[in-house]
Structure 1
Amino acid sequence: MTFTTPPRTAAWRHLDARTGFEVVYFHPLGDGHRIEGWTTAVEDGVTWAVDYVIEVDAAWVTRSARIGGHSAEGSRSTVLEADGAGRWRVDGEPAPHLDGCLDVDLESSAMTNAFPVHRLGLRPGAAAKAPAAYVRAVDLAVERLEQDYLRVGDEGSRRCYDYASPAFGFACRLVYDESGLVLDYPGIAVREL
């Protein structure tokens, strides 16, 4: 299953878990994409902002991510580099706890849920595990996050996946557009553009 080319820009409004907004721009990059994004939010009385530049290859496997975080506690940054085969470096240091991960997933971003669905190309009824290098919004800590995707079918031009993150005890149905960007992430974000 293939998706159409992503739009030049997209935006999401955060829901329920936090109040805020995310804006991204997609740039063709040789045999992949460079994605530049900004997210701002208020969550549990704490304000934060995250900016990022993520590069993915033609198969939508994450190759690098430069992330900046800003809060009342100050500013931070981190750089993730991946070899495309599941080995990572965080700020130049090997990160064996991320071995086998092919995607980066930012806690602050609805957009990063596009990476596994593009990469996996699941047909209806197919399921896959998609562990990710998960970057926290406030302190930019990098953890391994186990995730499961099950392609459940389509609703017109919309593609639906059952998503689960066992570590958070969280499961929902994610709805994507024809370009593979999430439209509805229940309790987290809804696409505005």
Structure 2
Amino acid sequence: MKIRVKPLPLPHGILKRAAVVSHIPLRSPMNLERLPSQAAWHHWGIRCGFETAFFESHPGGSTIRGNTSAWEAEAAWSVGYVVQTDSQWRTLTAEATVRALDGDLNTMIQRLEGDSWNVDGTHRPDLTGCVDIDFESSVVTNTLPIHRLEFATGAETSVPAAFVRADDLRVQRLEQSYRHLTATPTGHIFEYRSSTFDFACTLEFDRSGLVVDYPEIGRRFNP
């Protein structure tokens, strides 16, 4: 995600609860519910736009299909994506198309054995060790590590990702981490950090592990 936002203050009481468990991490009671068949987000702040996503489960894993259309920095763009995961929510493939004033671009990304990656058939050793795909244009891909990992409350977990830029679909390594702060009646609160962009914020997820609120980037409709 882009970084031109300030860290979001934590909801009242979370700092106190996080401090209690900071020295002895506890296994978080994630107990995620099944993803809905569809969801939508209003993108705001750094861009103005709308995102829709559709979720399908099958014996071998899951398929996420989505699209974001937005106006950002005096330019319009639309990014469509299809992400395939295995049964453990590890990214297998990701396809994306961006449509903009200059025309259309496409990319095909594959995670291979040993967590190595190919981008449009070219091996990318700089991405080795990444398990997740992350689209700058989307808030949906934040759900991948949330479903894939077991988080210990108060402990920071490093989850580097293959990061796909919105404007030209170039792919770079994204160093990022998630810290589970607390469970709420409606979901979970995480602290998110990216050393790549020197950025931090708090993210609110619903009970199915989908982002409800990403500060100044996107908020879900009717979570």
Partner of 1:5: 34
Measure, in 2, the Cα distance between the counterparts of 1:89 and 1:102.
Answer: 13
- Decide which of 94, 98, 103 is 2:127's aligned counterpart: 98
Q: Which runs of 5+ in 2 are unaligned?
A: 1-29
CA drift at 1:84? 5.6
Asked if residue 150 in structure 1 is aligned to residue 179 in structure 2, the reply is: yes
Measure, in 1, the Cα distance between the counterparts of 2:156 and 2:149: 9
User: Once the 2 structures are TM-superposed, how far is the Cα of residue 83 of structure 1 from its aligned partner?
Assistant: 2.2
Partners of 1:157 and 1:92 in 2: how far apart? 42
Instruction: Give the partner amino acid of 1:107.
Output: E
| 3-state SS, counterpart of residue 196 of structure 2 | helix
Match of 2:205 among 161, 176, 185: 176
Give the aligned partner of residue 154 of structure 2. 125
Alignment partners' CA distance in 2, 1:141 and 1:58: 27
Structure 1: give runs of 5+ residues left out of the alignment.
none
Conserved? CA contact 2:79–2:137, under 8 Å: yes
- Tell me how far 1:89 sits from its aligned partner: 0.7
Identity %: 41
Does structure 1 residue 55 correspond to structure 2 residue 84?
yes
Contact kept, 8 Å, 1:110 with 1:189, in 2: the verdict is yes
1:41-80 aligned within 5 A: 41-80=70-109
TM-score when scaled to structure 1?
A: 0.96
Deviation at 1:165, TM superposition (A): 1.2
RMSD of aligned alpha carbons: 1.1
Say which is worse superposed, 26-35 or 177-186, in terms of deviation: 26-35
Please tell me the residue identity of whatever aligns with 2:43: H
The Cα shift of 1:29 comes to 2.6
Could you report, residue by residue, the CA deviation over 1:10-59 in whole angstroms, capped at 9, with x for unpaired residues?
Answer: 11110101000100000113231111001000011111000011001111
State the secondary structure of the residue aligned to 2:36: coil
Give the TM-score of the pair, scaled to structure 2. Answer: 0.84
Q: Which residue of 1 aligns with 2:164?
A: 135
The residue aligned with 2:68 is 39
* Distance apart, 1:126 and its partner CA: 2.4
The one-letter code of the counterpart of 2:38 is: T
Q: CA deviation at 1:125?
A: 1.4
Pick which of 182-191 and 24-33 moved more. Answer: 24-33
Q: Is the 8 A contact 1:54 1:65 kept in 2?
A: yes
Deviations 1:87-145, CA, capped at 9 Å, x for gaps: 11111111111000000000000000001111122032122101000000010000000
Q: Between Structure 1 and Structure 2, how many residues are aligned?
A: 193
Candidates 68, 83, 90, aligned match of 2:112: 83
Q: Deviations over 1:128-179 (max 9, x none)?
A: 1010000000100000000011000112122010001122221110010110
Distance 1:141 1:24 in 2: 22
Structure 1 residues 132 and 93, CA gap change in structure 2 (3 angstroms): same
User: Contact (CA 8 Å) 2:187, 2:209: kept in 1 or not?
Assistant: no
